[in-house]
Amino acid sequence: MRLEPTDDVVGQRLGDGFVLVHLNSNRIFELSRTAGRFWDLLQSESDRRRIEEHMLAEFDVSERTLKAEVDRLVAELLSEDLVRDID
């Protein structure tokens, strides 16, 4: 899966977390440290598998756990129109 942020979202790192704002709805989304890192990597890499490889190298987590967390995060980002699937 390849993803990219939609044009209607802006993000800002705040401490260990990250905040996204959907400009059309004015909704604010707070991301955890790991979800924020996913978002950081998404700015320069659209391939989800490569993003996961970077995160596995950075975080002490199993591949299975990371994949499950990323599945949930991507589903939420897609449902809130914060990212789009470009495959």
Nearest-CA neighbor of 2 among 66, 51, 72? 51
| Integer Cα distance of 49 and 70 in angstroms | 10
| Integer Cα distance of 45 and 38 in angstroms | 10
Q: What is the dihedral of CA 68, 70, 72, 78, to 10 degrees?
A: -150
Judge whether 71 and 3 are in contact, CB under 8 Å: no
pTM exceeds 0.85: yes
| Mean pLDDT within 59-72 | 96
At 42, list the tokens: 């998404």
Please write the tens of the pLDDT for every residue from 33-62: 899 999 999 999 999 999 999 999 999 999
